[in-house]
């Protein structure tokens, strides 16, 4: 494994002006901060009305019911504990069937930032929406590239906050420095607090850092960065998020076959397949990808 620097004590925050080119640069270069820390927040990248549009679209999708292969709510099993995530499972690859999800996946603001962080043109590889209603379990610490299997490099996530996100409703935690390490073999997660099976414990000397966000903030992070979240302990607050994954058009030579890449103009691009992978997180009560 690569040696790492000491963990950061606070989240790197970058003004949206950083994405607008020369003449509006902040004092700190976000690409350098992303390289050093493995993540950076762009505050208020999306306007309140845009976030409201995303929330409304996915809540309406939930009300309409299943989309086979993408959104599959199911009833609780009699005699087993009630699980709110049975009614509110995550939505996988909504951009395949939903115009709004596709539009935000390919948003020009995300493209501009990704070009700087990657140092090349990005390809879109995945979209997801997490409802995370009150009482929902979290997702144990993990690395996204364990699932995407991007080779020889890694992926980058753009994690859009659609609600106020804090410790109470299960906000993200990241482990700075782990983006400079290899992908770990995960251990078994605690199913009482994580809806996914894989858990990557923080390496010795490194610790999770909480990431609190406001609606419209976007967290970009390296696919090798260890991150996760705890349960939503509130009784009345969702922690909704729209999440996209991207890879470098030049540097990505292989990717898991579960991901079908697009240019940021929406044109399909075939990338050779790597071995293994699947959805970001294997669910504890589902046998394999769904």
Question: What is the total residue count of the chain?
Answer: 290
- How many Cα atoms are found within 13 Å in the side-chain-facing hemisphere of 162? 24
Structure tokens at 57: 């679209």
Question: What is the band of 287 on the pLDDT scale with cuts at 50, 70, 90?
Answer: very low
- How many Cα atoms are found within 13 Å in the side-chain-facing hemisphere of 61? 28
The answer to whether 144 touches 223, Cβ cutoff 8 Å, is yes
Q: What is the pTM of this model?
A: 0.89
Residue 20 falls within a domain, yes or no?
Answer: no
Tens digits of per-residue pLDDT, 113-163?
999 999 999 999 999 999 999 999 999 999 999 999 999 999 999 999 999
SS3 69: coil
Structure tokens at 281: 């997180």
Tens digits of per-residue pLDDT, 44-70?
999 999 999 999 999 999 999 999 999
Sheet holding 226-229, edge to edge: 139-142, 226-229, 172-175, 209-210
Note the pLDDT of residue 28: 60
Note the pLDDT of residue 279: 87
Residue 190 falls within a domain, yes or no?
Answer: yes
| Residue 281, pLDDT above cutoff 90 | no
Interatomic CA distance for residues 151 and 139, integer angstroms? 24
Residue 98 falls within a domain, yes or no?
Answer: yes
What's the domain range around 52? 26-70+80-269
Interatomic CA distance for residues 238 and 14, integer angstroms? 26
The answer to whether 216 touches 51, Cβ cutoff 8 Å, is yes
| Residue 38, pLDDT above cutoff 70 | yes
Residue 118 phi/psi, 5-degree rounding, is: -85, -25
Nearest to 139 by CA among 86, 207, 189: 189
DSSP class of 18: G
Residue 183 falls within a domain, yes or no?
Answer: yes
Note the pLDDT of residue 7: 34
Q: Which residues of 241-276 are buried (b: 16+ CB within 10 A; e: fewer)?
A: bbbbbbbbbeebebbbebbbbbebeeeeeebeebee
Residue 283 falls within a domain, yes or no?
Answer: no
In this prediction, residues 9-33 reach a mean pLDDT of 50
Interatomic CA distance for residues 43 and 174, integer angstroms? 17
Residue 250 falls within a domain, yes or no?
Answer: yes
Residue 44 falls within a domain, yes or no?
Answer: yes
Q: Domains in the chain: how many in total? A: 1
Residue 280 falls within a domain, yes or no?
Answer: no
Nearest to 232 by CA among 141, 140, 134: 134
Nearest to 181 by CA among 160, 204, 159, 211: 204
Q: 46: domain CATH number? A: 2.60.120.620
Tens digits of per-residue pLDDT, 22-34?
333 333 677 888 9
Interatomic CA distance for residues 174 and 179, integer angstroms? 10
Interatomic CA distance for residues 100 and 127, integer angstroms? 11
């Amino acid at each position: 494994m690569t040696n790492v620097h000491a963990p950061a004590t606070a989240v790197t925050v970058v003004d949206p002006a950083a994405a607008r080119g020369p003449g509006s640069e902040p004092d700190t270069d976000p690409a350098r901060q992303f390289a050093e820390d493995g993540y950076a927040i762009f505050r208020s990248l999306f306007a309140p009305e845009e976030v409201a549009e995303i929330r409304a679209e996915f809540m309406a999708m939930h009300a309409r019911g299943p989309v086979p292969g993408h959104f599959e709510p199911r009833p609780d099993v009699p005699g087993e504990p009630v699980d709110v995530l049975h009614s509110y499972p995550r939505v996988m690859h909504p951009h395949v069937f939903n115009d709004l999800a596709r539009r935000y996946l390919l948003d020009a603001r995300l493209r501009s930032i990704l070009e700087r962080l990657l140092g090349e043109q990005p390809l879109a590889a995945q979209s997801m929406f997490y409802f995370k209603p009150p009482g929902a379990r979290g997702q144990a610490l993990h690395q996204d590239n364990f699932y995407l299997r991007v080779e020889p490099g890694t992926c980058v996530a753009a994690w859009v906050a659609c609600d106020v996100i804090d410790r109470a409703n299960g906000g993200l935690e990241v482990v700075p420095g782990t983006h400079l390490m290899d992908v770990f073999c995960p251990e078994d997660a605690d199913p009482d607090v994580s809806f996914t099976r894989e858990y990557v414990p923080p390496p010795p000397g490194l610790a999770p850092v909480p990431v609190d966000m406001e609606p419209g903030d976007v967290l970009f992070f390296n696919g090798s960065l260890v991150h996760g979240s705890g349960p939503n302990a509130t009784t009345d607050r969702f922690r909704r998020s729209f999440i996209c994954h991207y890879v470098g058009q030049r540097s990505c030579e292989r990717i898991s076959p579960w991901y079908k890449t697009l240019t940021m103009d929406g044109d399909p691009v075939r990338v050779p397949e790597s071995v293994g992978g699947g959805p970001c997180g294997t669910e504890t009560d589902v046998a394999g990808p769904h």
